[in-house]
Amino acid sequence: MNHRYFPHTPADIAEMLERCGAATPGDLYADVPEQLRLAGEYDLPTSMTEKEVRDYFNRLASANRQLTCFAGGGFYHRYTPAAVPALMSRSEFLTSYTPYQPEISQGTLQYIFEYQSMMAELTGLDVSNASMYDGTTATAEAMMMAVAATRKRNTVLISGSVAPAVRNVAATYARYHGIDLQEIESDNGVTSLDDLKQKLSSGKVAGVILPQPNYFGIIEDLTGFADAIHQAGALMIMNCIASDLAVLRSPGEWGADIAAGDAQSLGMPLSYGGPYLGFLCCTKALIRKMPGRIVGATKDAGGNRTFVLTLQAREQHIRRDKATSNICSNQGLMALHTAIYLSLLGTEGLKEVCTAGANGAHYLADKLTRTGKMRLKYPDRPFLNEFAMSCDFDVDCMLKVCTAHDILGGIKLDNHSILIAVTEMQTIEELDRLAEIVATSNFA
């Protein structure tokens, strides 16, 4: 039993067994039926030295293919400044401790407060919570907020141009909370204002979920939407890509009551799907319906500026089943990631990142169109860093050829259309390479 990672000596084990009244470790499992117990020894490899372990995992890692990524759909290949993981991995921050005791948690509480302040500024709204799991659950929680705030209304409208993952999660929440979730029709790739007004006429709508930009990368013109929604007594919810708000009109400027979405685009690695961060911001009038934690600034007995978890009476650990939401924790470490990233880049830096992606996207869209094999699916609609292309060939064939050239070509929308995203990560040479592959390949 001697092993460098096992702290118990044979004498320790014998003493513990004697205290338990057991002769062998196997006696501790006497209550488990014999047929459920493992017979014999585990088929485990022999132990390795530290160097051997490193060599083993290096061999495994060498099998990975590094692909140039043009896939988006709400999650993007972004650059993470080296300072971000270096700072967030400090032991003062990298902890599962919940800062219920402000007297020993001022550092954690302050960075959450700074995160909230920056997200509120980015969205143009009054207040942000301390973050949520991801953009899909944050948007679904925004839907729950709208129902709770408008009371006796249980219908929520969601644009058909919102990302499918967001619509699916919202539908799951709605199903088990008695909410009638209805889809607003799309008109040439964007939300139909006429269909929205028709559905609002029922007088039962609690909230309306609109995208910016939408799943197809289109920047939607939401003029008149807020007026129509508010005149019907409903709340306007915007599902946004966080990084794009640096250059787009903010949800607050559009007249939104709630903004929700994923902050992965703020420098977070894709990491096979997480961890990401959901942001949720709202007007001050809705703060008591907001789920999750909220950090506020106050003063202590000595007049010093301090930070505390505020309005805790809304939360599940106090209100239990009467709480607005069952979410009882937050992605605190990823909120720190976002706060550091935004602090490092600043307003102008974030605009530069967005502009780089937008310039690359428009360059690539033009190059692909010039091949004569592809065309913009929605040529009259403005886009930022993501766009949908139509083609006469099979998209699966294109993606297969691209993969053979170490390129992840995009996301298939249907057999003859594809969604392509460009960020600051792709070089001009990589954009030209994708266009050349399309121009010279026979996708049959």
Secondary structure of the chain: what % helix, strand, coil (to 5)?
45, 15, 40
190 and 306 co-located in one domain:
yes
321 and 387 co-located in one domain:
no
352 lies in some domain: yes
Read off the CATH number of the domain in which 318 is found.
Answer: 3.40.640.10
Percent of the chain with pLDDT strictly greater than 70 = 96
What span, in angstroms and rounded, lies between the C-alpha atoms of 343 and 228? 37
Average pLDDT on 202-229 reads: 97
**Phi and psi of 278, rounded to 5°?**
-95, 135
Q: Which of the four pLDDT bands, split at 50, 70 and 90, describes residue 18?
A: very high
308 and 250 co-located in one domain:
yes
Which has the minimum average pLDDT: 167-171, 306-310, 425-429?
306-310
Report whether pLDDT(328) > 70.
Answer: no
Cα–Cα distances (Å) from 438 to 262, 387, 388, in that order, read 32, 16, 15
Report whether pLDDT(96) > 90.
Answer: no
148 lies in some domain: yes
Q: Which of the four pLDDT bands, split at 50, 70 and 90, describes residue 1?
A: very low
Average pLDDT on 264-283 reads: 94
154 lies in some domain: yes
Question: Of 281, 314, 341, which residue is a domain's last?
Answer: 341
433 and 297 co-located in one domain:
no
414 and 353 co-located in one domain:
yes
Percent of the chain with pLDDT strictly greater than 90 = 78
> Strand, helix or coil at 273?
helix
Report whether pLDDT(149) > 90.
Answer: yes
Tell me what pLDDT residue 332 has. Answer: 86
Average pLDDT on 57-77 reads: 94
Average pLDDT on 216-223 reads: 98
What span, in angstroms and rounded, lies between the C-alpha atoms of 296 and 309? 6
Query: In total, how many domains does the chain have?
Result: 2
Average pLDDT on 330-344 reads: 91
Question: Of 296, 314, 341, which residue is a domain's last?
Answer: 341
276 lies in some domain: yes
326 lies in some domain: yes
What span, in angstroms and rounded, lies between the C-alpha atoms of 339 and 111? 7
| SS3 annotation, 171-221 | HHHHHCCCCEEEEECEECCEECHHHHHHHHCCCCEEEEEEEECCCCCECCC
174 and 93 co-located in one domain:
yes
Read off the CATH number of the domain in which 409 is found.
Answer: 3.90.1150.10
Which has the minimum average pLDDT: 99-108, 165-174, 248-257, 351-360?
99-108
Given the structure tokens 């007007």, which residue do they identify?
283
Contact 127, 287 (CB under 8 A): yes
Tell me what pLDDT residue 417 has. Answer: 97
Average pLDDT on 213-228 reads: 98
- Residue 257's nearest CA partner among 137, 150, 114, 163 is 150
119 and 139 co-located in one domain:
yes
Q: Is 191 exposed, middle or buried (0-12, 13-18, 19+ CB in 10 A)?
A: buried
10 lies in some domain: no
Question: Of 341, 366, 399, which residue is a domain's last?
Answer: 341
Q: Which of the four pLDDT bands, split at 50, 70 and 90, describes residue 4?
A: low
Average pLDDT on 331-341 reads: 92
425 lies in some domain: yes
Report whether pLDDT(106) > 50.
Answer: yes
Q: Which domain holds residue 174?
A: 83-341
Report whether pLDDT(406) > 60.
Answer: yes
92 and 74 co-located in one domain:
no
93 lies in some domain: yes
